[in-house]
């Protein structure tokens, strides 16, 4: 009799265990997704778009029935583009809101502040927009990067493009003093050196929010470069490109991928003509490609009172990444846990929600979802693709072997 | 440094300095009349820039846009004074300063909600192609701003010296109570001081938009405007303009001579040094009381 009771008790405990060990942020009918990004301050054009793109995808997914019978609920925190605020945001999301997964739709400057904490907590952290190397290198099991790519990859493509497309021997680099533009500048300098044995003829920095770039441009002018690579935000680029023209600099401008966006053309107008850069998405908002037109119509239906310049690239990146994350959760099955999600995401190969997004691929070795960028040029006030493909094999995946 | 480069830098410094000077002017006027330091003035500049954007998108000619922006700025100032400042005008100075700060945040928030944070711009009245003369390159918009700054300065000086309202403002700034006893309507003086300063702030927004673009962060210019105002002596109209121009010149030259990393720092260091030797700025003077 005692043996029977013990066996019955053990069986009851075993049955009850899944209820008690239930995954944080997952209930019978809801999966809670946390997210952070800047919706105030100079980088709000990133976070507002990231938030809206993500929420549009969630609405569509929920309308289509959700994920394995569960609907997605979102909790969003403003990180103000600050690493300390990003850390506070993810702490709140993980410890108070008890979310299942956290998505970063903010820039590198803020996201780097959350990386160590998220690694320590082991909660899945899916980074859509930030390219800071810390997200994917050194490799961490629970950290993924989606639509954007790692800064090192930017460096490879930028250096190759500057050296082969522009055939530039003399390259000047202007970069902002914050995390993302500085990383872009450093990565480009590194690859120019290791792949093309060349160093920039001028490297100048500026503060985000500066209104006058004359001192930097004078230095650039003195160096007489073939091309000027500018890494910062559209607001600064617009002023710098206008002032360059005023100072008589005729050299072409190449810009970082965050500026390959209609916002740069809106801010710089004629000064942006001929500017080149790499896009993280196949079509930019405003493109007449049928899939893009359809997507924009859906976006505008959801946000009818959106301001000028929206939707932008970050709407699309976060939209595409929310679908990738949802696909991972779907593939993880009914028993959704951190481990099952990580395993499912690592099985994703060339997945994308449609032709408006670039395909994402993860593996057990690396979590860099996108290594593909499209070169573009401003022509008649519109960004248009440039016929150029990289001829070099990327170095960055080699470090994961 | 060659003479041509020095002159080119001077042009750039005066160009950005004109922007700071206009903001400094808009800060000094209400302070001169009512003793209120308006920390929301940067957002009035932002408001002017967005008003110009909207009116330009309606394809209105530049002179009409200019007149409308100035009028909107003045009406906005009157509304702020009547609705938000007058009820608390007898509160401690610190409360008033915080209130103006809050007004600025409200304006900025409303602009962000309505227009988003994507940058934008408008064209200047004379196009964007630089004028080349004597080997120097001038942006016509910069010259326009510089000219407008001088015009506004002389107009404001004349206003304070030669008009009844201007004289009343000076009297109120010395002693509101005594001015009241002399028959001056102090409320009216406060109202018009706000109207004039916000009109200048909005005008600054319209003028600078082609040069620095339009986004909700334009209000950060207030830091440079304050710097210019303090250098000038804070109660001096010519001082505010000279201070603003000086900040622009110092930033530009220090960026080239010392390095771009220090260009935002040097004006503040020089301000501290200036205040050690001239605590009331270049044009300010200590209050003298008859005993």
Query: In terms of pLDDT, which residue wins out, A207 or A296?
Result: A296
Question: What's phi and psi for B261, nearest 5 deg?
Answer: -65, -25
pLDDT, averaged in runs of 10, over chain B (291 residues)? 84 88 87 81 94 94 95 94 85 85 90 81 83 82 89 91 90 85 88 91 92 88 89 87 92 84 82 83 70 64
Give the pLDDT of residue A59: 97
Query: Among positive and negative, which fits the CA dihedral A52, A57, A61, A63?
Result: positive
Give the pLDDT of residue A18: 46
Q: Which residues does chain B have within 8 Å of residue A218's beta carbon, measured at their own beta carbons?
A: 5, 9, 256
Per-residue pLDDT at A5 exceeds 80 = no
Nearest to A214 among B114, B121, B252 (CB): B252
B93 touches A at CB < 8 Å: no
Name the token pair of A47: 């976070």
Q: What is the pLDDT of residues A239-279, one digit of tens each?
A: 999 889 888 899 999 999 989 988 888 888 888 999 999 99
β-strands A374-379, A276-279 pairing: antiparallel
Nearest to A306 among B116, B128, B213 (CB): B116
Mutate to test the interface with A, among B127, B258, B260 (most CBs of A within 10 A): B260
Nearest to B117 among A45, A243, A245 (CB): A45
Per-residue pLDDT at A11 exceeds 70 = no
Task: Indicate yes or no: CB of B119 within 8 angstroms of CB of A266.
Answer: yes
Residues 6+ apart with CB under 8 A from B236: B28, B281, B282, B283, B284
- CA-nearest of B195, B201, B223 to B50 is B201
Mutate to test the interface with B, among A40, A215, A263, A264 (most CBs of B within 10 A): A215
Question: What's phi and psi for A109, nearest 5 deg?
Answer: -55, -40
Helices marked H in A253-302 — which ranges? Answer: 262-268, 290-302
Nearest to A267 among B138, B139, B213 (CB): B213
- With vertex at residue A190, the alpha carbon angle to CA A185 and CA A192, rounded to the nearest 5 degrees, is 95
Task: Indicate yes or no: CB of B217 within 8 angstroms of CB of A235.
Answer: yes
pTM for the structure as a whole: 0.78
- With vertex at residue B150, the alpha carbon angle to CA B148 and CA B155, rounded to the nearest 5 degrees, is 90
Task: Indicate yes or no: CB of A45 within 8 angstroms of CB of B19.
Answer: no
In the numeric block, the tokens 């001192």 are attached to A215
- Residue B182 to residue B177: CA distance in whole angstroms: 9
Domains present along chain A, CATH in parentheses = 30-149+288-370 (3.40.50.2300), 152-279+376-400 (3.40.50.2300)
B261 touches A at CB < 8 Å: yes
Mean pLDDT for A141-162 is 93
CB atoms within 10 A of CB B2: 8
Q: Could you state, in order of their start, the residue ranges of all structural domains in chain B?
A: 25-219
Q: What is the pLDDT of residues A160-174, one digit of tens each?
A: 999 999 999 999 999
Task: Indicate yes or no: CB of A209 within 8 angstroms of CB of B5.
Answer: no
Give the pLDDT of residue B282: 82
What is each CA distance from A177 to A203, A232, A343, B155, B234, in whole angstroms? 12, 9, 37, 41, 32
Give A96's pLDDT tier (boundaries 50, 70, 90). very high
Give the pLDDT of residue A45: 82
Helices marked H in A92-233 — which ranges? Answer: 108-121, 151-164, 179-196, 214-223
- CA-nearest of A356, A266, A357 to A309 is A266
Give A204's pLDDT tier (boundaries 50, 70, 90). very high
Give the pLDDT of residue B287: 64
A309 touches B at CB < 8 Å: yes
Give the pLDDT of residue B177: 85
Per-residue pLDDT at A63 exceeds 90 = yes
Task: Indicate yes or no: CB of B118 within 8 angstroms of CB of A266.
Answer: yes
Nearest to B16 among A212, A234, A248 (CB): A212
CA dihedral of B117, B119, B123, B125, whole degrees rounded to 10: 60
Could you tell me how many residues make up chain B? 291
What single DSSP character describes residue A33?
E
Residues 23-62 of A with CB under 8 A from B: 40-42, 44-45, 48
Per-residue pLDDT at A17 exceeds 50 = no
CB atoms within 10 A of CB B97: 15
Give the pLDDT of residue A3: 55
Q: What is the pLDDT of residues B220-250, one digit of tens each?
A: 888 889 999 988 888 888 899 999 999 999 9
Residues 6+ apart with CB under 8 A from B125: B62, B141, B144
Give the pLDDT of residue B176: 82
Instruction: Look over chain A and give the mean of its residue pLDDT values, rounded to a whole number.
Output: 90
CA dihedral of A78, A79, A85, A90, whole degrees rounded to 10: 80
In the numeric block, the tokens 């001028």 are attached to A202
Name the percent of chain A lying above pLDDT 70.
95
B95 touches A at CB < 8 Å: no
Give the pLDDT of residue A338: 97
Mean pLDDT for A232-237 is 90
Mean pLDDT for A201-215 is 88
Q: How far does A243 lie from chain B, in Å, by closest CA?
A: 9
Give A16's pLDDT tier (boundaries 50, 70, 90). very low
């Amino acid at each position: 009799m005692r043996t029977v009771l013990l066996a019955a008790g053990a069986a009851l405990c075993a049955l009850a265990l899944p209820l008690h060990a239930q995954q944080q942020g997952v209930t019978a009918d809801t999966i809670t997704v946390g997210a952070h990004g800047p919706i105030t301050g100079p980088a709000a054009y990133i976070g507002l778009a990231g938030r809206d793109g993500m929420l549009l995808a969630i609405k569509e997914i929920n309308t289509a029935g959700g994920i394995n019978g569960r609907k997605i609920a979102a909790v969003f925190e403003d990180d103000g583009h600050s690493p300390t605020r990003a850390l506070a945001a993810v702490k709140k999301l993980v410890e108070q809101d008890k979310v299942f997964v956290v998505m970063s739709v903010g820039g590198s400057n803020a996201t780097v502040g959350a990386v160590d904490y998220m690694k320590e907590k082991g909660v899945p952290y899916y980074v859509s927009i930030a390219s800071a190397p810390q997200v994917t290198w050194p490799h961490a099991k629970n950290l993924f990067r989606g639509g954007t790519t790692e800064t090192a990859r930017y460096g490879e493509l930028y250096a190759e493009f500057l050296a082969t497309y522009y055939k530039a021997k003399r390259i000047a680099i202007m970069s902002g003093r914050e995390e993302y533009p500085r990383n872009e500048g450093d990565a480009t300098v590194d690859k120019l050196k290791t792949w093309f044995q060349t160093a920039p003829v001028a490297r100048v920095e500026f503060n985000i929010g500066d209104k006058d770039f004359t001192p930097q441009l004078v230095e650039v002018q003195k160096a007489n470069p073939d091309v000027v690579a500018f890494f910062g935000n559209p607001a600064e680029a617009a002023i710098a490109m206008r002032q360059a023209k005023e100072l008589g600099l005729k050299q072409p401008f190449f810009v970082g991928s965050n500026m390959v966006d209609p916002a740069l053309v809106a801010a710089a107008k004629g000064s942006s003509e001929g500017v080149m850069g790499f896009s993280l998405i196949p079509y930019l908002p405003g493109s007449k490609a049928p899939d893009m037109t359809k997507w924009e119509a859906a976006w505008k239906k959801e946000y009818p009172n959106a301001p000028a310049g929206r939707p932008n690239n970050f709407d699309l990146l976060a939209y595409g990444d929310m679908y990738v994350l949802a696909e991972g959760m779907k593939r993880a099955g009914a028993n959704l846990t951190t481990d099952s999600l990580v395993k499912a995401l690592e099985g994703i190969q060339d997945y994308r929600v449609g032709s408006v997004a670039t395909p994402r691929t993860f593996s057990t070795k690396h979590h860099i979802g996108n290594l593909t960028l499209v070169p573009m040029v401003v022509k008649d006030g519109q960004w248009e693709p440039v016929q150029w493909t990289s001829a070099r094999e990327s170095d960055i995946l080699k470090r994961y072997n | 440094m060659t003479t041509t480069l020095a002159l080119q830098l001077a042009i750039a410094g005066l160009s950005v300095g004109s922007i700071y000077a206009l903001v400094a002017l808009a800060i000094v006027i209400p302070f001169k009349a009512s003793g209120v330091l308006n920390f929301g003035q940067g957002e009035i500049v932002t408001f002017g820039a967005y008003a110009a954007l909207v009116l330009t998108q309606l394809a209105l000619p530049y002179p009409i846009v200019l007149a409308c922006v100035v009028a909107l700025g003045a009406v906005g100032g009157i509304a702020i004074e009547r609705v938000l400042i007058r009820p608390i005008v007898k509160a401690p100075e610190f409360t008033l300063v915080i209130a103006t700060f809050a007004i600025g945040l409200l304006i900025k928030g409303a602009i962000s909600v309505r227009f988003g944070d994507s940058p934008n711009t408008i064209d200047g009245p004379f196009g964007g192609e630089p004028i080349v003369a004597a080997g120097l390159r001038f942006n016509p918009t910069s010259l326009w701003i510089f000219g407008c700054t001088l015009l506004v300065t002389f107009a404001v000086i004349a206003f304070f010296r030669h008009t009844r309202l201007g004289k009343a403002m000076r009297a109120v700034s010395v002693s509101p109570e005594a001015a009241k006893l002399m028959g001056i309507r102090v409320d009216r003086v406060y109202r018009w001081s706000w109207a004039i300063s916000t009109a200048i702030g909005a005008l600054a927004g319209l003028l600078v938009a082609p040069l620095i673009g339009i986004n909700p962060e334009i209000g950060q210019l207030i830091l440079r405007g304050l710097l210019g105002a303090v250098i000038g002596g804070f109660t001096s109209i010519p001082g505010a303009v000279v201070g603003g121009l000086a900040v622009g010149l110092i930033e530009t030259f220090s960026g080239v001579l010392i390095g771009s990393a220090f260009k935002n720092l040097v004006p503040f260091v020089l301000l501290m040094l200036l205040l050690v030797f001239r605590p009331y700025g270049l044009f300010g003077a200590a209050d003298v009381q008859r005993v």
